[in-house]
Structure 1
Amino acid sequence: MDVLWWELAQGPWVADPAGLMPARQQMALSLGWHIILACFGVAWPAMILVAHWRGVYRGDDTALELAKRWAKVSAVLFAIGAVSGTVLSFEMGLLWPGLMGPFGDVLGLPFAFEGLSFFVEAIFLGLYLYGWGRIPPKRHLLMLVPMALAGVVGTYCVVSVNAWMNMPVGFRLVDGEVVDVEPWAVLFSSGAVLQFAHMWVAAYMVVGFTVAGVYAAGMLRGRRDRHHRLGFTVPFAFATVAALVQPFVGHVLGLRIADTQPAKLAAFELATETESPSPLRLGGLLIDGEVRYVIDIPRLGSIIARNSFTEPVQGLETIAPADRPPVNVTHVAFQTMVGIGTLLAAAVLLYWFLRWRGRDPLANRWALRAAVAAGPLAVVALEAGWIATEVGRQPWVVYGVLRTSDAAGDNPQLWLLLAATATLYSLLTVGAVVVLRSMARRWRAGDQDLPSPYGPQASAAGGDRRTGGSS
């Protein structure tokens, strides 16, 4: 994800390749759109697994019906994600020849494993969808396990590439040539593990709060049956754990930035000068070289960013202007992510505290409204986190090795590709909304078994759901 105006921090103007601007805009659009779908591939299978397990092992017909409906929705999202993911795979080489040309051997293995994971996920999603009434119930339930694992592995592979861009490993540069390539180093670097953990937990927050919000909206409209309460509770429980774990994961990941990307940390903290100890700055913008509209909390910056009462956050004055990221964009995005994450963690604590005290938050309309809002807020936090990560790495596409301007091509026709991609994503979004709303209306009307657009219907017309009866 990128921005157009980071060059303002570069000092003397140098002509950029004609393909740089459209490439940046297209990657921002594609990654920002696709990452939401990727979250559903990572997190939702586990939630479907829990609902289906309740149906099979506890005889809970409501949970089994939820699993069936969620699987059909996930198939729609998976189909759309397949299109956007395919677009991204072509974009890497088309938009960034200066990256994929020299470093293709370094990055080939993670991308290959991601492709294999995609096929495994697609195969077992198909088996699960068509397995209702055809596969014995316990074996049918197991189809979700490789599906969930494949989504996690595929996402790990992609995130490992991004982590490599932030902390490159697995090669040497000799006279401008990439030599001594170690592809496995990209997959198993410490940066990849920590960055994936952050993304993995974020996916459960996005999916958990979004799905729970759908059922909270239904309860606001008076649908307070067990179907809606269970549909809220299962994803909300996942989101709760994720929201409470995420601050710790983010803190551990953030501690590395002081050593690996000091310019990014300075932008996060709006540290124009090195101070010991450093304050925590809430809000604020850098205007004409001066920090304004900020609240300083003494010492807390050193404690949070460096795990120390005295260690300073390296200031921007120590970094060459040509190597500084867009400070305001990076800082605002980072604080947006942290602020929303803190708010969501506090909200789930309040929810479960009220439940512990014997009160039912779902009986309160304001609590339901807050639950509906939590889904979009989690998405905003996710996008803000990626903006902070990617914009904060600028002006480097591979930190300290390859500048973004040097990775882009010189094709001005990429603007046409950007327009085509924006049109495609708009049509996909409209199509997804139309299909999902149609499915929801028919379910509310009492159609329990909607025809699947992906294959033939089960031949059996009935069956006991607890024993894997037909859909």
Structure 2
Amino acid sequence: MITDLLAARSLMAMSLGFHIIFAVVGIGLPLLMVIAEWRWLRTGDEVSLTLTQRWAKGLAVLFAVGAVSGTVLSFQLGLLWPGFMAWAGPIVGLAFSIEGFAFFTEAIFLGIYLYGWRRLSPAAHLGAGFVVVLSGAASAVIVVLANGWMNTPRGFRVLDGHPTDIDPVTAMLNPSGLFQVPHMLLAAYAATGFAVAGIHAFRLLRDPDNPFHQRAFAVACAVGGVAALFLPVSGDLLAKATAEHQPSKLAAFEGQFSTESGAPFRLGGIPDLDQGRLRYAVEIPYALSLMLYLDPYATVTGLDAVPREEWPPVGVVRTAFQIMLLAGVSMTAVSLWGGWLWWRRGSLVRSRRFLQAMVVTAPLGFLAIEAGWTVTEVGRQPWIIAGVMRTAEAVTPMPGLVVPLVFFGALYLFLAAVVVWVLFHQIGASPAGKSARRNTEEAWGDALAVPVVGVAEKPE
């Protein structure tokens, strides 16, 4: 039987898992869009203009659904976890206010960008796009910093069970959040880049000479590939911070049951909670101590250092971490391969094997993000604020939470189906044939005289 606490946690997890896809695209897709427009303004390449307009349409659809799901998530935060909001509201309220400002800035300038083609100068229009890029990233930064505070709370003292001497700036600049931010931003750019590149790689396998898909593939590969190359660095720094500030979480996702000097790094394995060990794992001797502390004989804290009732769900956390690790390593490997191909051949679109690899790895970025947030949130359990407030203390006393769980599950499935249908019919459909000059004139009117370099191919 599902308890109200489990139903509340499941509902929040489902809402966050649904919303984060749109939030990630809202971070990554504006950058692709702006790069394409910048290239068009610099070179007069009409394919880049068509690409910019296509991505802008897609961003509009995804942003609208993301705004709805984000609003639902905000309401659920207050309705499902009133104990948390009452206690932590004075501390993280500033962060949520700034995030709201960043969101509205993104929405306003996205509207200006979408409806300003014939009303703004080319430089002002491109500038509006840059504001969308920056405000989308800023919104993510603030949310991640607030979440980091839940992992390593700072900026207050507890007096008679209530927070006092509150410093919201110190709370925002908490150690977990400062390391989570670069990892999340890189993950967003990598996930979006790989997903978009995979879509166009699939089309290039059928039509390798299509200039629209070639250009889109090149831009998406550049953004996603570069971000994926830096992800292991940010992940390593975040793991070191977790070992220092949240040793039980690190022990859970590393499968480290016992405090150990010269701890090995373990691949795979099945957690055995009764025996307190990881069965069938492949161990690399001393590797975990070396990675965390640059000392092969350093001591790594295990789950035995905390009471059993404070252990997070080890099986869930360990599995999610392994999925995230495998997906991230795969993306990094494909990025290194792509860099080598570009260096040797100057092109990626002529390698069918690389295109096939991009199709296969296209969803891995989003899979890694979902798994990474599972590690972050489930790995903090049983605390909603680490060491301060348990999740069970924050949940609403309202019974019957299974009903909204089923309702919102159906709602999210419906929204997902609508998004796929709209994107396929409005964004994926081939545009009517237009000359390059007509395409330019429809975008800018007489505001810009771009040299016409030829007739744009119809993207399929």
TM-score bracket for the superposition, by shorter chain length: over 0.9
1:65, distance to aligned residue in structure 2 (A):
1.3
8 A contact 2:23–2:66 mirrored in 1: yes
1:92 is matched with which residue: 77, 90, 106? Answer: 77
The equivalences for 1:419-438 within 5 A come to 419-438=406-425
Change (3 A) 1:180 1:214: same
1:374, distance to aligned residue in structure 2 (A):
1.7
1:375-397 deviation line (CA, Å, top 9, x unaligned): 21111111111111111111111
1:33-56 deviation line (CA, Å, top 9, x unaligned): 111111111122121111101111
The equivalences for 1:120-131 within 5 A come to 120-131=105-116
CA distance in 2, matches of 1:236, 1:140: 25
1:409, distance to aligned residue in structure 2 (A):
1.4
1:336-361 deviation line (CA, Å, top 9, x unaligned): 21222112111111122122222754
Identity over aligned pairs, percent:
42
Give the match for residue 146 of structure 1: 131
1:466, distance to aligned residue in structure 2 (A):
5.5
Give the match for residue 312 of structure 1: 299
CA distance in 2, matches of 1:251, 1:400: 24
1:63 paired with 2:14, answer no
8 A contact 1:134–1:468 mirrored in 2: no
The equivalences for 1:9-88 within 5 A come to 19-88=4-73
Say how many residue pairs are matched: 446
1:447, distance to aligned residue in structure 2 (A):
7.7
1:412 is matched with which residue: 399, 412, 417? Answer: 399
Aligned alpha-carbon RMSD (Å): 2.3
Give the match for residue 243 of structure 1: 228
Change (3 A) 1:131 1:191: same
1:267-300 deviation line (CA, Å, top 9, x unaligned): 1221111221000111111123242111111010
8 A contact 1:258–1:306 mirrored in 2: no
Q: Normalization by structure 1: what TM-score?
A: 0.90
The residue type equivalent to 1:277 in the other structure is: G
* Unmatched segments (≥5 aa) in structure 1: 6-17, 450-457
User: Which stretch shifts more, 242-251 or 282-291?
Assistant: 282-291
Change (3 A) 1:303 1:465: farther
Give the match for residue 291 of structure 1: 278
The residue type equivalent to 2:269 in the other structure is: G
* Unmatched segments (≥5 aa) in structure 2: 452-460
1:384 paired with 2:371, answer yes
1:323 paired with 2:307, answer no
**Alignment partner of 2:44: what SS?**
coil
Change (3 A) 1:265 1:125: same
The equivalences for 1:343-354 within 5 A come to 343-354=330-341
**Alignment partner of 1:363: what SS?**
coil
1:96, distance to aligned residue in structure 2 (A):
0.5
8 A contact 2:151–2:385 mirrored in 1: yes
1:399-420 deviation line (CA, Å, top 9, x unaligned): 0111111111121232222222
The residue type equivalent to 1:306 in the other structure is: Y
Change (3 A) 1:152 1:292: same
Q: Normalization by structure 2: what TM-score?
A: 0.92
1:265 is matched with which residue: 226, 245, 250? Answer: 250
Give the match for residue 456 of structure 2: none
CA distance in 2, matches of 1:131, 1:102: 44
1:279 is matched with which residue: 259, 264, 278? Answer: 264
**Alignment partner of 1:442: what SS?**
coil
The equivalences for 1:111-122 within 5 A come to 111-122=96-107
8 A contact 2:262–2:288 mirrored in 1: yes
1:335 paired with 2:322, answer yes
1:373 paired with 2:323, answer no
CA distance in 2, matches of 1:112, 1:417: 27
8 A contact 1:277–1:301 mirrored in 2: yes
